A and B are shown apart, each in its own frame.
Chain A
Amino acid sequence: MAEMSGATTPAGASEMTEGADGIRRRDWIHIAALSTAGVGGASLLFPLVSQMSPSADVLAQGSTEVDVSAIEAGQAIKTMFRKQPLFVRRLTAEEIDEANAVDISTLRDPQTLAERTKEGHGDMLITMGVCTHLGCVPLGAGEGENRGEYGGYFCPCHGSHYDTAARIRKGPAPLNLVVPEYEFTSDTVVRVG
């Protein structure tokens, strides 16, 4: 390599030799060039990762309107919210009493029925139909389906039992069925999302 450095120009030599501070001009060029390439390359990852997130049209399917007037006490319907099942259930007086009779300190995910419904509509229980264990659709919303040991919903995949307030009571699921954000836009119409 000795003969190589002999072939470089005087200007090249100044880039290669150390200054009084022991830093070569080329050290700075290395740092600047590699930093630029590094930042540029890393910033390219952002769009490549971001493109897999929900696209604008998916996000635009944000809300669903449900007419609850036809649901009778003790009956439930299944509908769709953001491509997932949504359970809308009108509780009977006995089911409400049953839910309120539970000491919530004994629950895995302590919540009262009132916290899971809207004021003035304490009999309308609106939850996602997605088991909080691994995402199956629990039974109990359809006519004649198994409602589990606590009279609410029962997930057949891994045996999670939910009570009449759709709270987890037995089985592997960690949380109550999720109550989505919703509001009553009139006495009979609910807008979810």
Chain B
Amino acid sequence: MQRRRSSKTPKQPLHVHHKSQTDLSAWRKGGKIDSEKSLQNNQSANDQKYESQEGSLELALSYFEKVQDSVALKKKSVVQRHLDVVESTALKQGLPPEGFEILLKVALSGRFADTVNTRLLKSLIPTSVIPENSVVTAVSWLCVGKCSGNIQVLFLKWLITMFDFIDHKEQLNALYGFFFFFLQDEKMCPYVCHVLYLLTRRENVKPFRIRILLDLQAKMGMQSHLQALLSLYKVFCPDQVTITLPGKMKTYFKNSEGPWKAAITAVRQRNQGISPLAQAVFLGTSRPQSRKRKWNAQLVIPASSANRLEAGREKNRLYLCGTNESFPVEQLQTFPQLLQNIHRLEFPAQMGSVLTNPLLLHYMNFVKDESIYLRLHYWMGQRLQEECTWCVVDNPCEEEFKSFLENVYKAECFLQEGFSACEEFLYKTLPLWDGVSCRSEVLKLVSWIPLSSFSDIKPYLFDPLAQLFFTSSIYFKCSVLECLKELLQNWLNCNAIQMDLEISSANTTLCGLVDAVAELVHFVGRISTVALRLENNSTLLLYFILDFYDTVCDMYLKYNLPLLIMPPAGVFYPALLSMDSVNLNQLCYIMYRYRTNLVAAKENEQSKKKILQFKFSNQTYQEYNQYLTAMVGCLWTSTAFQKDIHPQGLRMDDELLSKTAVKEIKNSFNIVYHPAMMGYSVQFLQEICPDDTTFNFKLIKGKKWDWYLEYLYNQGLKGLKVFIESSISRVSQAARSKSGNVEA
């Protein structure tokens, strides 16, 4: 059967369009399969009806194929019947590929009255694809000129709408000259311009054509369709024609989807349900600007447009690659296009345009060319300096600057590296920064400052940040801590990659990295200690500080860096004695990770498989052990006041303790009495003995101590769990219950 065959025959590979008017390719590909499926469904459901309809479509097509003018005039009702079939089928399912040649021929040969031709053209809706041959035949009929002007225009409109359904465009492009000739027809001109716009390739742009278009422009004045075509010509041949489009222009071609739009959508939805995105016509229009600006001070990121003046210089290289034509960056719209043309892609004339173009950022990542970075460096450096809202006095445009910084940051995240211009800008302007304007954007950019020696960047980065940190609100403090955590992670990530690449020769760089990271961690330790005091050990602040140490405690295992630094006592003790369980739980988790890292390091050291240049100093182990003693003493054995040996620790004489007149003072910080845990222990007591309202915490011992632990773990205190399981050895059940007795 014809119809069945039709859904299988055109299995062409996905054709990449020279220019894509609408993104129909995806739908078309899927459409075939789906129409097949729906056909099967339909057949099972309503077999007869469709059988008959298909049969009648076949009949109709064969009728139109053989029809002569004389026949048509006599048997109006026959025509009517076949026309109805074609229309209803087209609107429901679309027409099969082989139908187009027949129907186009009939419509354009002027055999019928215009009403018939119009109805035929309007029902030319494809199920899958439109064969190129049918369109070529149609164009030859158009040239014969047997149909009326209205039909000519309608055909062109149809061609524009259906352009992306045509399976090939090589032969169609060969007819470029014929289409070009129709420009002279005043009525057809706008539509021909649009067709040409879709068809034009570089080789089609010839000096004589430019001249004809300019003559037309002189004759007809500024017409948007001519402007569009001319600006496309400019894209290909800027050394022959140039045009500046007025900024306010929005549409260049009148909407010619007209009568088919609804039908295409309907067929499309029936077949798959994806509505394609209509792509904007790519023209080098100046974007609308919020206000009038100086010509040389636009934060507007330039549009991607190729610089064809450069083409000459690059030509030799391109010939080597086996192509003689480069791919204009204006036409780069999709990732597959990038992959197919990556060997012949031109960079935009203004490198700044890569910032907002992810495809070009991909390409930039691929082509490691110094000049790319240098061009970007100069452009970005000047823009940042000139528009910086806290350095330039008369600059009210903070919103624009913010979004510019945001774009820069996004590009940095994409490329996973900081821009040198941005780095210099931050060094220059951070000492002047008020900490308010563009706060989050600036801090985000700080996180991409590349690794450098601490003493070098201290006066430009860390000193001004510290100054603002101490004098600003708690929220600013938290943002700074977060940004420094990002900075640390970026340093660690970048260097983890580098170390993989150059394992053996990395000694010196590794040394530098270790020093810089150590300095950064110490810096954060210092400011955190002070900030906790300034903010009365705020829970929020502590949360951000511990979040930073969450990265620090895992540097050895996660990033392969031979460095572990314990938090200073000014951070550790406030966390240990904090009033909320989230931070205490986090501290437990961090201590557990420190332990895991230190154990792994020790094992590596002992196995001596690798000769380590770096050994953790004994001081780190010592510090860890001191903290651990304090923690276990606090949370578990209730001996912190006696056993804590850290100089800044909790150790206190019994005499002094007794003066506080607090009962059971030794227990005050174990997992039952700890202020951060009190809520849990109260709730636990309520659950195990709901009648008792005296809150006898002493009940939590022995077996109930174990239950209590389980209860805490179930409440989500996973950090506490891993800490207790790893760091507290519980000899046996009996011993535990005994010790539990003693402790509780």
| Chains A and B are bound partners | no
